[in-house]
Amino acid sequence: MASHLLAFGRRQILTPKVVNIGRTISGIDELLRRSLGETIELETVITGGLWNAYVDVTQLENAVLNLAINARDAMTGAGKLTIEVANARLDDAYATAHPEVTPGQYVVVAVTDTGIGMSQEILAQVFEPFFSTKPEGKGSGLGLSMVYGFVKQSGGHVTIYSELGHGTTVKMYLPRSLESEVIEEFKAVRPAPQGSETVLIAEDDDQVRSMVIEMLGGLGYQVLAAKDATAAWAIIQSGVHIDLLFTDVVMPGTLSSAELSRKAKERMPGIAVLFTSGYTQNAISHGGKLDPGVSLLSKPYTLSELANKVRQVIADQKQQRAPRTAAPGA
C-alpha cells in the first residue's frame, strides 16, 4: 500500500537528485501565494549556507503544496503560513527516543500555520491513509500520508506539532548530501508561465486530480474537473467553452480517454488535448506516433513541466487555427 501513496501519479518510483531545497521552495513561491489567496500571509525563510539534499524535486514540491493547502483550510480564510528551510542535526539521543530515526545531518523544511490546530487524538492518526478531518467530499485523506511516505522513502524523518487554537507545524527532515548540486537541472528556474484559459481535467485518482486543480488554478487557469471520461464528456456536452482537455490515459469506465479525445475534437474543433500517463507513449499512439494535435506529459511531472507543456499545447492549437496569410506574389 505504501508504494502507491509515495509518488504523485500512480505506479511511479522516486527519482532523487542532489538539490538545493531553498532554491526549490523559492521556485514555487508564486504558486503557493496563488493557492493560499490574498487573505493569508506567506513568509519564506531560507537559512544561509544551506546544505544540499538528495531528494525527488517533484515530490518535494507536491509535499510542500499539500501542506500549504491543508494549512489554508485550517486557517479558514485568514492567517499566516511560514515556510522555513534550515540545516539540522539529529543526534544519538534523539535517535534513541525515536528508533525509526538515523542520527546525522539533515535539511529540514518546516511549514507552520496559525490555524485551528489539532487535538492529541487527531495527531495520533493524521499520517494514516484516508484519515481526514475535512467534510466528506472535501478531501481524499491521502495528503499527510503521502507526505509521510515521501519523507520516509527518502530516508528522512517527519514530525508534527499542534495545539488547539494555536496552529500546526510540520517538519520534514531530508538527508544531507555531500555531493555538489546538479546546476543544470536549474538553468531554467524562473516563474512558471501562467494563463487564463479554461482547462478540463479528466483524472480518476482523487489526490492527483486535487493537486492538478490547485496547480493550474494557482497558475491562473479556469479549471473544470471530472473523475472519468464519461463525466468529462458530460461537461463537454454542456456547451461550456473549453480550451484544453487534460486527461489521464487509463481510467475506469466504458468510455476510453482516446475516445473522449476524438469526441471532444469533433464537438469542439478548436480544443487542444494533452494526455498524461505513467505508462509509455505507445498506449495512445498509432505506429509510434501520436494523433495530430495530441501531446503527452509523462508522470510524475514538476510544476514547471506542467506549466510549460500546457502553454505549449494551447499555443500550438491556436497557431493551427490562425488563418494563414498568402505569400507575397502568390
Q: Is 185 a domain residue?
A: no
Question: What confidence tier does 4 reach under pLDDT thresholds 50, 70, 90?
Answer: very low
Distance CA 295, CA 161 (A): 44
List Cα–Cα distances, 17 to 54, 182, 265, in angstroms: 5, 8, 39
Q: What predicted TM-score, i.e. pTM, was given to this entire model?
A: 0.60
Flag whether 281 is in a domain.
yes
- Is 62 within 8 Å of 211 (Cβ atoms)? yes
What amino acid occupies position 68? A
Mean of pLDDT values over 284-298: 60
Asked if the structure places residue 330 within a domain, the reply is: no
Q: Are residues 235 and 128 in the same domain?
A: no
Select the more confidently predicted residue: 221 or 130. Answer: 221
Give the end of a domain, one of 119, 150, 178.
178
CATH code for the domain of 255: 3.40.50.2300
In the predicted structure, residue 140 carries a pLDDT above the cut 60: no
Q: Is residue 47, in this structure, part of any structural domain at all? A: yes
Angle between helical axes of 229-237 and 257-267 (0-180°, round to 10): 10
In a domain, residue 160? The reply is: yes
* Statement: residue 7 has pLDDT above 80: no
Map grid coordinates 508561465 to a residue: 193
Q: Is the pLDDT of residue 120 over 70?
A: yes
Residue linked to cell 505504501: 2
- Do 103 and 241 belong together in one domain? no
Q: Per the structure, how many domains does the chain have?
A: 2
d(CA 15, CA 9): 13
218 and 165, same structural domain? Answer: no
Helix (H) / strand (E) element for 143: namely: helix 143-153
Residue 40, pLDDT > 70, answer yes
The Cα 208–Cα 5 span in angstroms is 11
In a domain, 276, yes or no: yes
For cell 503557493, name the residue.
32
Look up residue 268 and give its DSSP letter: -
The domain containing residue 208 runs over which residues?
198-321
Beta-carbon contacts of 152 under 8 Å, excluding residues fewer than 6 positions away, are: 158
Please indicate, yes or no, whether residues 232 and 316 belong to a single structural domain of this protein. yes
Same domain (yes/no): 61, 168:
yes
Is residue 184 in a domain?
no
Alpha carbon distance 85, 109 (integer Å):
5
Domain boundary among 147, 178, 209: 178
Domain end call among 144, 178, 212? 178
Q: Are residues 168 and 202 in the same domain?
A: no
What is the distance, to the nearest Å, from the Cα of residue 272 to the centroid of all Cα atoms in its chain?
A: 22
* 98 and 138 inside one domain: yes
Sorted by sequence, the CB contacts under 8 Å of residue 118 that are 6+ apart come out as 126, 133, 162, 164, 168
Copy the grid coordinates of residue 290: 501520436
Q: Do 174 and 236 fall into the same domain?
A: no
What's the pLDDT band for 107 if we cut at 50, 70, 90? Answer: very high
Cα 174 to Cα 16: distance, rounded to the nearest angstrom: 11
Kindly state whether residues 234 and 275 are assigned to the same domain.
yes
Q: Are residue 169 and residue 229 in the same domain, yes or no?
A: no
**Percent of residues, the chain, with pLDDT higher than 70:** 79
Q: Are 104 and 176 in contact (CB under 8 A)?
A: yes
Would you state the pLDDT for residue 314? 92
In a domain, 30, yes or no: yes
Same domain (yes/no): 40, 158: yes
CATH number, domain of 65, equals: 3.30.565.10
Secondary structure of residue 180 in the 3-state scheme = coil
Question: Got the DSSP string for 206-230?
Answer: HHHHHHHHHHHHHTT-EEEEESSHH
If asked whether residues 234 and 131 sit together in one domain, one would say: no
